[in-house]
Copies of this chain bind each other. A is one copy, B any other.
Amino acid sequence: MDFQPAIDKVFNHIKNNNDPGRVADYIPELAHVNPDKFGVHLTTIDDKHYATGDSEEKFSIQSIAKVLSLTLAYRIEDDNLWKRMGIEPSGTPFNSLVLLEHDKGIPRNPMINAGAIVVCDILMDLFSNPKKELITFIRSISGNQEIDYSPAVAQSEKTAGHRNASLIHLMKAFGNIQNDIDEVLDFYYYLCSIEMTCRELSRTFLFLADYGKCPYTKERVLTMSKSKRINAIMQLCGMYDEAGDFSFRTGLPGKSGVGGGIVAVYPDHYSIAVWSPRLNKKGNSYKGMKFLEKFTTETGTSIF
């Protein structure tokens, strides 16, 4: 299937929409980005590429990287992971600390901040140099040795990160953090400040469209069962408290970041990355959400 016409049609339809969203500014470094950027890249499992707009420009993938750290931990730890966190949707951001206190320091899932911080804590137990292991892993599955993080963004996040510090101290109080708090947060902010282009992001997530097989190394990143389970987690927990709305409109598992990126996976077919920095009220890219809704409708590509 040639996806280019649909990409172009939907992109042009949305490009000049009045965009009521706002660029994330609680992380000062993210506020500098040009809010009008808009790019799309789709990669099929047989390595066809369709793209438009600012698809070759780097942006901060932010929370999207949580799927990658989870993948790295899951392939080693298996279902032991779920002793440290759940796999249920969390309801609302309103609930973030509420639920964490109610659940005695066990995060609802690995996609919310608390859960992703626990995944970082687990990786620190597994590796003596977790940053290096993580970036090596990401470079490997993306087939791209140039992928890196932004020290300026990582620093900026740390300065603004009092809510995350509140979360990790609460989990430590409940005994669900093993390593030094500052070191775990340092690793977490490293993770959040990884940068990719739409092309790179789309390629990096292609293994989840191909049942766990890395399309570049041809090696298995995850078993088929685990790959499906990562998709299931994205479907239910990947879009904060807009997971239901995203599933309802788009019908694909996906993950967003406050940098304005969204990646979505159509198993057995493609992985697609969209980037537009202005966020809606739920913290997801306004144009990214619109694009994916219209694109999946236009192409009839949804898992439901």
A-to-B contact residues, CB < 8 Å: 86-92, 94-99, 101-102, 108-109, 162-163, 165-167, 169-170, 172-173, 224-225, 227-229, 231-233, 235-237, 241-245, 247-249, 251, 253, 267, 297, 300, 302-304
Contacts and interface: CB of A to CB of B under 8 A. Distances in A.
A300 B227 CA distance: 13
A95 B249 CA distance: 25
Contacts of A247: 232, 235-236
A45 B27 CA distance: 51
Main SS of the interface on chain A?
A: helix
Contacts of A232: 244, 247-248, 251, 304
7 contacts: A87-B244, A88-B242, A88-B244, A91-B92, A96-B101, A163-B173, A224-B300
A166 B89 CA distance: 23
Nearest to A237: B244
A94 to B, nearest CB: 7
A97 B163 contact: no
Nearest to A165: B169
Given A88-B245, A89-B244, A109-B244, 6 more contacts: A92-B99, A97-B97, A235-B304, A236-B243, A236-B247, A303-B303
A109 B89 CA distance: 13
Contacts of A302: 228
Contacts of A249: 229
A91 B102 CA distance: 12
B91 A267 contact: no
A145 B257 CA distance: 50
